[in-house]
Amino acid sequence: MDVDELLGWYERVRRPLPWRATRDPYALLVSEVMLQQTQALRVVPYYERWLSELPDARSLADAPTRLVLSLWSGLGYNRRALSLQRAAVHVSEHGWPSDLTDLPGVGPYTAAAVASFAWDVQVAAVDTNVRRVLTRRDGRARSPRELAAAAQALVPPGQAATFNQAMMELGATVCRPRNPSCPACPVSRGCGRVIESPAKRVGAVRFEDTDRYLRGRVIAALLDGSALPDSAERVLEGLQRDGLIELDPDGRPKLP
């Protein structure tokens, strides 16, 4: 892969996403957690509203659960918000750990992304987009460890942050899961382009019929005081187990 071509392309086409304009590790952690399984453009208003209300780790650590969940509501996977708050408590009490995976809810990818963007640590951040780019170029499947090593070998000295952003941008906007735009790819030369057609989904369940959707509606109802949706009972146990709700003495759900 011609990394210089990749970086030049990125500088020309990069989207002006707000988290790309900061080096604040707290703001970057917020963005990375929000971006898990959520498209970037959808995250932008949530990210900006969150930082307006909770601008630093201390304010998040001290925030009531209702506020945290209300700011998160609509992004899905509400337990991510509670993990982020637990991470903020750790940072407020102990500072940023040398190994960011010590923070609740922070895995190797998120740790690498925050470390490179905030502190210029020379580490490749390999998310789903980056794995797809590397796998397609090789035309073969590789283990996560092999992919991480391959990405690390490409990181230019002193440019880990830009390289990571460029690889993510490439995967998100050009080397897409479906209908990749190979003619627009700045590093198409030598690419294997082994792209398997996605299997047809037989009897796919509508998102509105999933427990994930129902969990979100239950939290939203508790936030605005409206009636719980039909079939709410089937997700209450899981929500309680995840710390997202409590039951009052009469067995009615409430926010912590």
- For residue 50, the domain's CATH number is 1.10.340.30
Q: Encode pLDDT of 54-112 as tens digits.
A: 999 999 999 999 999 999 999 988 999 999 999 999 999 999 999 999 999 999 999 99
* Tens digit of each residue's pLDDT (9 = 90 or more) over 158-192: 999 999 999 999 999 999 988 899 999 999 988 87
- How many other CB atoms are there within 10 angstroms of residue 6's CB atom? 22
CB within 8 Å of 217: residues ≥ 6 apart = 229, 232
Hey, what are 165's tokens? 């952003």
- The b/e string for 238-256 (b: 16+ C-beta within 10 A; e otherwise) is ebeeeebbeeeeeeebeee
For the stretch 225-256, pLDDT in tens is: 888 887 888 888 888 888 888 888 877 888 88
pLDDT, position 238: 84
Domain hosting 235: range is 207-254
Q: Are residues 108 and 157 in the same domain?
A: yes
32 is catalytic: yes
CA nearest neighbour of 144 among 134, 154, 136: 134
**227 and 106 share a domain?**
no
Q: Domain for residue 195, yes or no?
A: no
Q: Are both 80 and 16 inside the same structural domain? A: yes
Same domain, 177 and 238: no
Residue of 224, 227, 223, 253 lying closest to 238 (CA atoms): 253
Among 132, 153, 184, identify where a domain stops.
184
Give the pair of three-digit tokens for residue 171: 């995967």
Query: Which pLDDT band, with edges at 50, 70 and 90, does 203 fall under?
Result: low
Is residue 191 situated within a structural domain?
A: no
Domain contains 194: no
Tell me: pLDDT of 23 over 60: yes
Q: Which of 32, 48, 169, 196 is catalytic?
A: 32
What is the pTM for the complete model shown?
0.81
Residue 218 and residue 147 share a domain: no
Length in residues, the chain? 256
Q: What is the pLDDT of residue 222?
A: 86
Tell me the pLDDT band of 194, cut-offs 50, 70 and 90: very low
Can you give the pLDDT at residue 199?
46
Identity of residue 160: A
Same structural domain, 168 and 227 = no
Q: Is residue 192 part of a domain?
A: no
Q: Which residues of 100-134 are buried (b: 16+ CB within 10 A; e: fewer)?
A: beebebbeebbbbbbbbbbeeeebbbbbebbbbbb
Does residue 154 sit in the same domain as residue 40? yes
- With a cut of 60, say whether residue 201 has pLDDT above it: no
Mean model confidence pLDDT for the chain: 90
- pLDDT at residue number 64: 96
Q: Using the predicted structure, report yes or no on whether residue 17 has a pLDDT greater than 80.
A: yes
